[in-house]
């Protein structure tokens, strides 16, 4: 009987051990699953911003100087390390009405200045940055042919408050072709405003006009008509005034844009009458 009791005791002990092991494996299985990777919404990085991202989205471009902080993993603000991207980040904060973020990107004078500009069309596109040893002077245009220029301090790239001296010019886009071309020609003839010209035309057209001499006095913009060397296209003749003081210029237009206040409506030029 003593031997039987001993065997039963050992059997019970082995059964209890097996049950305990099974429970331990089950508990480990429940706590050891794979954590899903966090998702982000990175910006396109193509020199353009359109719809304003949510405030949790990544910066427009550039590398930042911040990292995760605190036990909750809150990310510190980041600041682009290139002038083009820094300017786009400023425009994104402005378009998103994110004054807290804006105040980290520009000096206090610029925060106040931007507040007077309101909230124009937010489809900003990079045009150019002109560098010097201290600043990059960067220009951007939007879907309404408006122009913003700003100074980006080279020594503050990748750091807070690199933006300053921000100016905004509201141009708007005319709703008929002759006025559309007249605005383009005025931007060229008066002050070589290539940024505004780029909002109304294509890069090849801007390049052509940047190498073309201004009219000696003024211009007269004619009504659209079929191009003389290709009747399937529409041209607008720009005459010099006084008439005959310089050869006319002919620009090719896309009427679906120039008659409907859409950007980039001047699509080419005709080099001969």
Q: Hey, which residues does 126 pair with through a beta bridge?
A: 140
Tell which wins on pLDDT, 147 or 5.
147
Peptide bond preceding 242: is omega within 30 degrees of 0, i.e. cis? yes
Average pLDDT of span 188-208: 96
- What pLDDT, on the 0 to 100 scale, is given for residue 17? 42
pLDDT at site 177: 98
The answer to whether residues 166 and 110 touch, using CB atoms and an 8 Å cutoff, is yes
Share the mean pLDDT of the chain. 80
d(CA 272, CA 129): 33
Percent of the chain residues past pLDDT 90, beyond the cut: 69
pLDDT of residue 155: 98
Residue 10 has pLDDT above 80, yes or no: no
Strands (E), 28-144: 68-69, 74-75, 125-131, 135-141
Residue 62 has a pLDDT of 37
- Would you say how long the chain is, in residues? 273
Residue-level pLDDT at 4:
41
Question: 203-249 pLDDT, tens per residue?
Answer: 999 999 999 999 999 999 999 999 999 999 999 999 999 998 999 99
Give per-residue pLDDT as tens, 44-87.
334 665 543 333 333 333 333 333 223 445 677 899 999 999 99
pLDDT in the model for residue 72: 46
Region for residue 97 given its phi and psi (left: phi exceeds 0; alpha: psi -120 to 50; beta: otherwise):
left
Q: Are 157 and 80 in contact (CB under 8 A)?
A: yes
Which pLDDT score, from 0 to 100, does residue 48 have? 63
């Amino acid at each position: 009987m003593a031997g039987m009791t001993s065997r039963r005791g050992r059997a019970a002990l082995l059964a209890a051990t097996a049950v305990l092991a099974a429970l331990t494996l089950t508990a480990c299985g429940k706590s050891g699953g794979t954590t899903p990777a966090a998702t982000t919404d990175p910006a396109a990085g193509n020199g353009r911003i359109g719809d304003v991202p949510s405030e949790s989205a990544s910066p427009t471009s550039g590398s930042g100087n911040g990292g995760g902080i605190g036990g909750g993993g809150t990310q510190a603000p980041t600041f682009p390390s290139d002038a083009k991207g820094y300017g786009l980040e400023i425009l994104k904060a402005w378009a998103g009405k994110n004054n807290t973020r804006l105040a980290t990107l520009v000096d206090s004078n610029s925060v106040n200045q931007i507040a007077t500009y309101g909230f124009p069309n937010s489809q900003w596109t990079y045009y150019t940055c002109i560098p010097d040893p201290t600043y990059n002077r960067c220009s951007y245009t939007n879907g309404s042919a408006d122009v913003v220029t700003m100074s980006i301090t080279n020594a503050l790239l990748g750091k807070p408050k690199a933006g300053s001296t921000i100016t905004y010019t509201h141009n708007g886009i005319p709703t008929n072709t002759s006025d559309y071309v007249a605005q383009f020609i005025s931007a060229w003839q008066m002050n070589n405003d290539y940024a505004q010209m780029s909002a109304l035309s294509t890069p090849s057209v801007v390049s052509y006009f940047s190498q073309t001499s201004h009219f000696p006095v003024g211009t007269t913009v004619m009504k659209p008509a079929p191009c003389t060397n290709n009747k399937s296209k529409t041209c607008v003749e720009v005459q010099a005034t006084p008439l005959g003081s310089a050869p006319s210029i002919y620009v090719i237009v896309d009427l679906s844009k120039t008659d409907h206040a859409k950007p980039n409506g001047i699509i080419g030029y005709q080099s001969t009458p």
